[in-house]
Every structure is written in C-alpha cells, then in structure tokens.
Amino acid sequence: MPGLTGLFIPLEWDVCTHTEGGEEGLIIGVGSFCARPLFPGLGPEFYWINNQLFQAVLGAVLVIGFWLWVSYSHKLVPGKRQYFGELAYNFVRDGIARDMLGHDFRKFVPYLVALFSFLLVNNLFGQFFLFMFPTFSKIGYAWGLAGLTFLLYNGVGIYKHGLLKYLKNNTMPAGVPWWMLPLVMPLEFLSNFIIRPITLALRLFANLFGGHLVVLVFVVGGTMLLTWTEGPLNGKPEWLLHTAGGVALVFSLAIFALELFVSVMQAYIFTVLTAQYVASALADEH
C-alpha cells in the first residue's frame, strides 16, 4: 500500500522517511521538500509540528492580522493604511468576485479575499528569507484548499437548486440531443466533480513545486560549482566551474523574479477558478 498512498499524497512519507538524517540541502530532489520537525526532541509523535505547518499557520495569522490592521477605525476620508487595505480588498472584490459571480457576488467576497491573501502570503514564503519554501509545494496543503473549494461550490449549488436539479444542471448540458446524454452525462460528471477540483490542486502544487525545484537547482547547484572541489567535480578545470557557478547564481535572480510572478499568478488563478466554480454551480443552465 505505501506505493498507492504515495500516489495520492506524494512526497509525504516515502522519500522523506528514507532520507531522514541524510545530507540535507546538498542533494536537490524531492527530498528537498521534506518537512523538518520543529521539536525533534519530543519524539516521533510530535513530528507533525513541522516547519511547513508552522509556515501555513503563520501565513493565516499574518493574513488575519493584516486585514484587522487595515480595517480598524475606518474614516470617511481614508488615510494611507485604510486606502491600502481598500485597494487590496477592491482588487479581489471587483477584479475577481464581481467579474465572475455577477449580481450575488457579495456573499463570497470574504472567502475569496481570505483565500487570495492566504495563498499569496504562502506562495511568497517561497521567495523570502527565513522561509524560502512555498507552503503549497507540499501537495497536502493544495488538496486542503481545493477540498474547501469543492465543498463550497457544491454546497452553494445544492443549497440553491436542490440536489437533483443541481446534478441535472451539471451533468446534462443544454443543446445536446437526448440519445447522446447517456454518453455525455458521466463525462460531464467526471469533468465537473472530479477533474476540476483535482486539476485545481495539482495546478497550484505543480507550479510551486517546479518553481522551487528550479530555484534550488540554480542556487544550490551554483554554490556547489563555486565551492566543491571533491567528489564528482574533482580534477575539472577550476575556472570553468567557477564561471558556470557564478553565471548560475546570477541567473538565479532571474529565476527568483519569475517565481515571484508565478506565485502571484497562481494565487490569482486559484481564486478566479474558485469564483468561477461557484458561478457555474449557481448558474441556472449551462
């Protein structure tokens, strides 16, 4: 069974239990994504309190703190703090919620704002010192958020239409002749209820996982080329190694800039798609 579990929760156990205590940080690979227990002294039953969980919780605290900070004692004429908060809030409200959801967007703005800011903060953890690790490059966290989206859009859909009408809306596309329906209904069901949430999680996870891996290759690889003289690099011309390492390190800045863009982009996409799923669950017909 460990193979099968690894399929659904990749990178959680298989690799990590094997490389525990190995040369961490020097070998770039899936092992670089292993969690470090914060209190290894307390024994294995407390290993779940690891740096990634800490990051996610800290992200939530930062987000809550930020919105509390920008929203207390509002004035009619906003100051800088309030203006900044309203700018960020309006970006999600007008740019995502109202665009996607139409007239009854108001109910969903709080969740979408929270989702976007939580994703943004956690993705940016991948580019900032102290952390240097995007939380959602662990797939479990991505499954969690996609699961929330799944519950949300199915919940509001069933609440608005009732279970049967909701299922009918989502499995019987309009304008398809009746004899096609038996072929098309399972396909629509699979697409709407299984593939969409799965791709939602995988898109977020894979973008951040890949991005973090590329950053590691350039930064760690460049450092290795500059500093290693033993092992596989032994006897190679030094000027060549140092040039390659220096170029890799300089180029890693470009990769960081790209990752900064990807982090913001993925937070945005995830929020837009959540809004879109809710919109299509609320829509009367497709």
Nearest to other proteins of 101, 120 (CB atom): 101
Binding mask 130-169 for other proteins (x = CB under 8 A): ----------------------------------------
Residues in region 241-270 near other proteins by CB under 8 A = 269
Whichever of 12 and 99 has its CB closer to other proteins, that residue is 99
Which of 173, 213, 220, 228 binds other proteins (CB under 8 A)? It is: 173
Single out the residue of 64, 87, 176, 254 in contact with other proteins (rule: CB under 8 A): 176
Residue 286 lies near other proteins (rule: CB under 8 A): yes
Assess 112 for contact with other proteins (CB under 8 A).
no
Which region, judged by CB under 8 A, interacts with other proteins, from 62-70, 117-125, 126-134, 194-202? Answer: 194-202
Show the tokens assigned to 260: 């900064």
| Contact residue for other proteins among 50, 51, 199, 223 (CB under 8 A) | 199
40-99: contacts with other proteins (CB under 8 A): 98-99
Q: How far is the CB of 149 from other proteins (least distance, A)?
A: 13
Q: Which is nearer to other proteins, 40 or 186 (CB)?
A: 186
Which string of DSSP letters, residue by residue, matches 63-123? HHHHHHHHHSS--SS--HHHHHHHHHHHHHIIIIIIHHHGGG-GGGHHHHHHHHHHHHHHH
Window contacting other proteins (CB under 8 A); options: 77-85, 120-128, 255-263, 274-282: 274-282
Does the protein bind other proteins through residue 111 (CB under 8 A)?
no
- Judged by the rule CB under 8 A, the positions of this chain that interact with other proteins are 98-102, 173, 175-176, 180, 183-184, 186-188, 190-192, 194-196, 199, 269, 272-273, 276, 279-280, 283, 286
